[in-house]
Amino acid sequence: MNFKELGLTGKTLKAVDELGFEIPTQIQEKVIPHILGYEGDIVGLAQTGTGKTAAFGLPILERIQIKGKNVQTLILCPTRELCLQITRDMENYSRYIQNLSITAVYGGAGIVPQMRAVRKGTHVIVATPGRLLDLINRKVVNLGTIQYLVLDEADIMVNMGFKEELDAILETAPEERQTLLFSATMPEEVAKIASKYMKDPTEIIAGQKNSGTANVEHKYFMVHAKDKYLALKRIADFHPEIYGIIFCRTRVSTQEIADKMIKDGYNAEALHGDLSQVQRDYVMRKFREGNLQLLVATDIAARGLDVNHLTHVIHYDLPDELEIYTHRSGRTGRAGRMGTSLAIINMKENYKIRRIEKTVRRKITAANVPLGKEICEQQLMHLIDRVKAVEIDSNQISPYMGVIEEKLATLDREALLKHFVSLEFNHFLNYYQNAADLTPIVRKKKKDKPVKNIRVVKEKKKDESVRKDSVESGYSYLVLNLGKKDQILPPQLIGLINQSTRNRYIKLGRIDIAASRSRIQVENYYLDEVCDALSGYHFKGKNLSIEKEVTKKRVGDKRRKRRKNKPAKKHRLSL
C-alpha cells in the first residue's frame, strides 16, 4: 500500500513525498481511509513514534474547506511542546495548501498574540486544554463549526489533571463532529471519556509498538546501585557518536545526573519540569539541531520532543509503569535506522527486566559494562576514522607545509603517529588505566557462596575523579557580570555574543546563569574574540565586564602547557 492507494491526493501527496514518507505506517493504513471515508469516531491505541500525527493530520487536511476562515478542526494535546510539534507537523503536511491557517494555542506564553491569531480566522487550532478553555470563556474561540476533534495522548492529558477542562471543552463542541481519540494506554478515565463523548467508536490498534520492532535492540547492564553513574559514563564513552536520551524518574535525579555529566565533560543537558519554558525550549532546540549529544530527561518533559535519528535510549532509572519503557524505547530505531535501548539496573531489579520482556515480547539481553581497555580501543578507532575522513583544504594548508615539515623533521613516521595519537588520546588512557570491571561476577562454584554468589571487582576511585572539574574538552568558561537579576536568559546571552562578534561559527557550550553573573563555555579558539567583542558592549544600560575563569588543573592541562609554554594568565577586561 502507498499513500495514494490510501486515498490521499494532489497537494498532500506531494508534501508526503517531499517529507520522504514512502510506506504508510500501520496506523496510517488504518486511520487515513477511515477518516477520508467519513466512517465515524476512532479510538486509536497508539504511541509516539507510530506515525499517528500524519495518520489523523493528512486526511483531515484533505477535508478542510479553505473558503471561510472558521475553525474546522481542533487538536487537543497535553503539553506546549507537543502542541508546537503537532503544529509544525501539520504545517509541513499542508505546505502546498494555500491560505490554510493553523494556530497553536498553549499556556505559558502570552495570550494576546494567540487571541489575535484566532480572531484573524483559522482553520485548525492545536491546543492544550487549559489555554483553550480560557479562550472559549473569553469568547475568542467558538467550537460551533468544528468538524474534527482530535484528542491526542489522552492518557497523559488525564494524568496531568486536565479531566475537567476536557469535559468542559467536549460539552461545547457540536454533536455533528468526528472525534478521534489517541492514547498509548487505556486507563478507566480515558475509557469513560470515549464512552461519554464518542459515538460507537471504531477501535484501532497501532499494531506492533515501536520498541518491539526489529529496529530496536534491547540490552541491560546490571551493576551495584552505587556504580550506576560510572556505568553510564562508560556506556557514553564506548559510543563516541552517541545521540540519545537518558531517562531518569524524578526531576531531582534528572538534574543531578545532568550536572554530574556536564561537570565530567560530556555534552549533556537536563530537561525537566522545574526548568523555565525558555530553558526547556533552548535545550530542546539544541538537542534537535544535534548540538547536544545527551539529553537527561524525565518522561513527561521529553514528551513533545520528536527526534528521528536517536542512536540510544538509556533507562538510567527503570520506569514504574511498563508501558513507559515501550514509549521511551520507541524513540530510537525510527525512520528505518537501528536503535538501542539500554537499561542500567541494580542487583535487585532483575525481576523488572523479566516483566518488561513479557510486555515488549522481546528478549532483553544482559550485557557487560565496557571495560576501560575496550573503551580506549573504541575511542582510538573513532579518532583514526575521524582523521581519515577529515576534509583537507590543500590551498589553505600548502603555504604552511614548509614550516610544518621543518618542525617535524626529527620525527619518523612511527614517532609522528604516536605523537599525534597521544595528543588527543592521553586523557582517555589516563582516565581508564586503572579502571576495574564494573560488572559483578557471578561465581558458579559452591565454595564461593559466602559472598551471596556475587563478587564485585572494585572500581578504583580514580575513575570517578579524574574528569571531575573538567569543562567540555576544547572549551573554557568565560564569566560575565550579568545574571538573573539583570533578567538575562541563555537565548539573550547567545544573542549578545552573536551581535557583538558577528561570527556565527563561534561554538558555545554550557551556560550557567547565577544571580548576578553568568558562566559561558566558549570554544578555546574563540575565547579572545568573544572577550574583545563584548568589550564596549552593554546590556540594558549596564557596562559589561568579562573574564576568563581560572580552572583547576585537570587532564589535558599538560598538553595545553606544552603548547603554550606558560600557564593561562587571568585575563580581565573592564568594559
Q: Which residues bind ligand AMP (CB under 6 A)?
A: 21, 23-25, 28, 48-54, 306, 308, 334-335
Element (H, E) at 548: strand 545-548
CB of 287 to ligand AMP, least distance (A): 14
DSSP letter, residue 50:
S
CB of 108 to ligand AMP, least distance (A): 21
Residue 3 or 325: the one with the smaller Cβ distance to ligand AMP is 3
Residue 26 or 159: the one with the smaller Cβ distance to ligand AMP is 26
Q: Is 508 helix (H, G, I), strand (E, B) or coil?
A: strand
CB of 282 to ligand AMP, least distance (A): 21
CB of 119 to ligand AMP, least distance (A): 29
- Residue 391 identity (one-letter amino acid): E
CA distance 513 to 416: 43
The residue with cell 550579568 is: 482
Burial zone of 294 (CB within 10 Å; 0-12 exposed, 13-18 middle, 19+ buried): buried
Q: Which residues contact 518 (CB under 8 A, 6 or more apart)?
A: 479, 480, 482, 483, 488, 493, 511, 512
CA distance 300 to 297: 8
Residue 24 or 372: the one with the smaller Cβ distance to ligand AMP is 24
| Closest to 329 (Cα-Cα) out of 291, 366, 361, 286 | 361
Residue 94 or 114: the one with the smaller Cβ distance to ligand AMP is 94
Pair 274, 255: CB distance under 8 Å: yes
CB of 301 to ligand AMP, least distance (A): 16
Residue 23 or 404: the one with the smaller Cβ distance to ligand AMP is 23
CB of 460 to ligand AMP, least distance (A): 44
| Closest to 230 (Cα-Cα) out of 435, 417, 35, 453 | 435
Residue 269 or 306: the one with the smaller Cβ distance to ligand AMP is 306
According to DSSP H, which parts of 390-412 are helical? 394-407
CA distance 82 to 75: 11
CA distance 261 to 293: 11
CB of 495 to ligand AMP, least distance (A): 29
CB of 308 to ligand AMP, least distance (A): 5
- Residue 503 identity (one-letter amino acid): N
CB of 339 to ligand AMP, least distance (A): 13
CB of 21 to ligand AMP, least distance (A): 4
> Could you report how far apart the first and last alpha carbons of the chain are, in Å?
66
Q: Which residues contact 18 (CB under 8 A, 6 or more apart)?
A: 95
Residue 52 or 328: the one with the smaller Cβ distance to ligand AMP is 52
Q: Which residues contact 501 (CB under 8 A, 6 or more apart)?
A: 526, 529, 530, 533
Supply φ then ψ for residue 364, to 5 degrees.
Answer: -105, 115
Residue 28 or 211: the one with the smaller Cβ distance to ligand AMP is 28
Residue 17 or 357: the one with the smaller Cβ distance to ligand AMP is 17
CB of 56 to ligand AMP, least distance (A): 9
Pair 254, 388: CB distance under 8 Å: no
Sequence-ordered strand ranges (E) for 178-332 = 178-183, 202-205, 216-222, 244-247, 268-271, 294-297, 312-315
Pair 294, 36: CB distance under 8 Å: no
The CA-atom distances, in angstroms, between 287 and each of 186, 252, 327, 503 are 31, 20, 19, 21
Residue 112 has a CB neighbour count (10 Å cut-off) of 8
| Closest to 127 (Cα-Cα) out of 107, 111, 153 | 107
CB of 208 to ligand AMP, least distance (A): 13
Pair 155, 176: CB distance under 8 Å: no
Residue 328 or 548: the one with the smaller Cβ distance to ligand AMP is 328
Residue 201 or 304: the one with the smaller Cβ distance to ligand AMP is 304
Residue 233 or 327: the one with the smaller Cβ distance to ligand AMP is 327
Pair 211, 360: CB distance under 8 Å: yes
Residue 153 or 237: the one with the smaller Cβ distance to ligand AMP is 153
